[in-house]
Structure formats: C-alpha cells, structure tokens
Structure 1
Amino acid sequence: MKILLLTFICGLQALNNDVKEPPQLTGEWYTVGLASTVPSKIMKGGSLEIYVHKIYNNEDGSLGGEFFKKENGECIKFSVSASQENDGQLKVPYDGENYLTIKHLDNEYAMFKLTNVKDDKNTTWCELFGRFPDLSDEIKGQFTKMCKEVGILNNQVRDLSKDDRCQELR
C-alpha cells in the first residue's frame, strides 16, 4: 500500500513538472504585421499605423500599453488603456473606439482582430505582435489567413518586420 501511495505521489509530481505557464499578454512586444479593410489607415502616416512597445497591467486591473507612432516623420510615444466590455471584448479608446478580440496568444506571438469605430464608420483591422522584431513566414502566413477570415484581403496586409518601428525609443 505504501508503494502504491508513493507511486501515485511521484506520478502527480511528474505531472506537475510538465505544466507550463500559460502565455502572458504582458511584457515587451514588436508589431510585425498590420492589416486593414481601409489600407490607408495602416500605411505610412495612417492613423492606425502604430507600433507596440509593451503591454502591462494597470493598478485598477485593466490592461495598458505603450505604443509608438510617427507624426511628421518623428516618433512619438503614447499610452492607452483597455476596459473590458460585458461581452468580454476589450475596448480601447484610440482614433475613435476600438473593440479588440485576442485571436491567438502564445509565448512567441499574438494576433488581434479589432473593429475601429470613428465617425459612425467601422474599419476592421488586425495586428500581429511578436516577442522579437521578426517572425517566421509560417506565423506570418497564419496572420494573413486570419485576416482573410475576417474580410481583409492579402494586399491589405503589411509586413513591418523590415520597417523602422521607432526602435530608437525602446
């Protein structure tokens, strides 16, 4: 009986050692991809051409983020905070209101689908964040596929891995 109990305890310990930490949204990120049903919003100088720096938990438990954008060729740092809606979506005030859904999150990358509402017009847009400045072609392909599923065409997807994303402010 003691051997059976000891075997059971060792088995539980082995299971516990295999448990991995769930992926965290908080921490440093890089914007690797942007996509939009209105491409001018994510092109150079567009209002949604923004670059993530980090995501963090605010004191009130909401999520916050530091981002960069370019204005007149100069990099500007700004912060936003997200509030959770009753349906579970996150609402982020920036260039109107943005309703955010996390489509994928792991320790290497995250994909988001957003709906931007400004002046009674809706724009669907997506973001691909990576823990490193670039991601594999396979992950970028998954992002393009997700964009297509939400109505964004292949030619409306930008790969930012080679672009200046205001790294000098990091």
Structure 2
Amino acid sequence: MKILLLIVGLALVCGLQGLNNNAQDSPKITGTWFTVGLASNVTFKIEEGGSFRKFVKNITEQDGVLTAAYFRRENGKCIQFSVNAYPGKDGEMHVQYDGENVFTIQSMDSNHLMFILYNTKDGEVTVWGELYGRTPNLPNQTKRKFEKICERFGIKKNQIIDVSKADRCENLK
C-alpha cells in the first residue's frame, strides 16, 4: 500500500511539471458547462449511483477559488449542490468532495475542460478524470484527447464513460 501511495504521489508530481494550470484564467473557465466524460480507476464510482457520477451546471472563479454547481442522483432523487476548490502549490487545486481531492486542469480551451483528480478517502487513493464541454456534444478528437490524458494517469480506456447523453438530473425530480 505504501508503494502504491508513493507511485500515485510521484505520478501527481510528474504530471504537474510543465503544466500551466492557471485556474484564474476566468474568461475560459467561468460559465455554463456540461459533463461529457467521466473516468476512474475504480469504475463503480462513476457508474449510476456512484459518488463521482455528478453533472456540472456551471463554474465561477473569484480570487483563485473555483465554485462549481452540480447535479447528482441520490436515493432516487436529483439534488443540486456546490463545491469550492482552493489553490494549492504548483497549480494544483484542493476540494472536499467524498474525501480530499487534489486536481489539476490538464487541458482547457473555450470549448472543453479536462481535470485529473486524486481522491483520498479512508486511506485509499482513487484516480479520476472529468471532461466538460460548453455543449454536451464535443468532437471525437476532444474525447480521444481525454482518453489519452486518462491513460497517462493509469485509467484504462474501458474505465472511461461517455455521459453526454445521460440523464443530467437538471429537473430536480
């Protein structure tokens, strides 16, 4: 277990090197987003009922702090919730959600946003990724880029789910 944590830590440090992770680039990050892809080395967490199966509504940035509004299904009902992410060292961000999460923005332009996150809960580390789009329909080229980024962090292609057509829980049923 110690070796696994060391490997994950090393991968995080290596992944941060050379990354321009400027979350304060608010014109690009602030606004409406759609969850297009979810990925995790623990797949059940991104499947229906999983704790990481959440759908972004919007993101705002103020003084380096990101606030994101999400929808998720819980006990058969849709709920809306928000989380705040705070800047850390070397461009990483920290957020409390189903444990402690450290994440980096891996790719961002005016149409997409890609994150890789390391979730630590009860001493276990889960690697997960999120792909957001300004619309739910992103080009296949962008989805392939997300796959490659996920694979670089140890998430296999069969551990990535396209949720662009999934029930986003927006109507708070």
Q: TM-score range, shorter-chain basis?
A: 0.7 to 0.9
- 1:92 alignment counterpart: 95
Aligned counterparts, 1:20-169, within 5 A: 24-58=28-62, 61-168=64-171
Distance 1:106 1:121, change over 3 A: same
Supply the RMSD in Å over aligned alpha carbons: 1.6
Q: Does the CA-based 8 Å contact 1:23-1:105 persist in structure 2?
A: no
Residue 46 of structure 1, CA deviation: 0.4
Q: Deviations over 1:119-147 (max 9, x none)?
A: 01100000000000121111111111111
Q: Does the CA-based 8 Å contact 1:134-1:161 persist in structure 2?
A: yes
Q: Deviations over 1:70-95 (max 9, x none)?
A: 10221110010011113321001000
Which has the larger displacement, 71-80 or 160-169? 160-169
What percentage of residue pairs aligned between the two structures are identical? 48
Q: Deviations over 1:19-63 (max 9, x none)?
A: xx98511110000000000001100000111110000124x5511
Q: Does the CA-based 8 Å contact 1:23-1:106 persist in structure 2?
A: no
How many residues are matched? 148
Q: Does the CA-based 8 Å contact 1:27-1:55 persist in structure 2?
A: yes
Unaligned ranges ≥5, structure 2: 1-24
Q: Does the CA-based 8 Å contact 2:64-2:86 persist in structure 1?
A: no
- Code of the residue aligned with 2:91 in structure 1: it is G
Instruction: Give the TM-score of the pair, scaled to structure 2.
Output: 0.81
Instruction: Give the TM-score of the pair, scaled to structure 1.
Output: 0.82
Q: Does the CA-based 8 Å contact 2:64-2:87 persist in structure 1?
A: no
Q: Take 1:23 and 1:37, find their aligned partners in 2: how far apart are those partners? A: 32
Residue 167 of structure 1, CA deviation: 3.0
Larger Rg: 1
Q: Does the CA-based 8 Å contact 1:66-1:80 persist in structure 2?
A: yes
Distance 1:81 1:61, change over 3 A: same
- Code of the residue aligned with 1:44 in structure 2: it is E
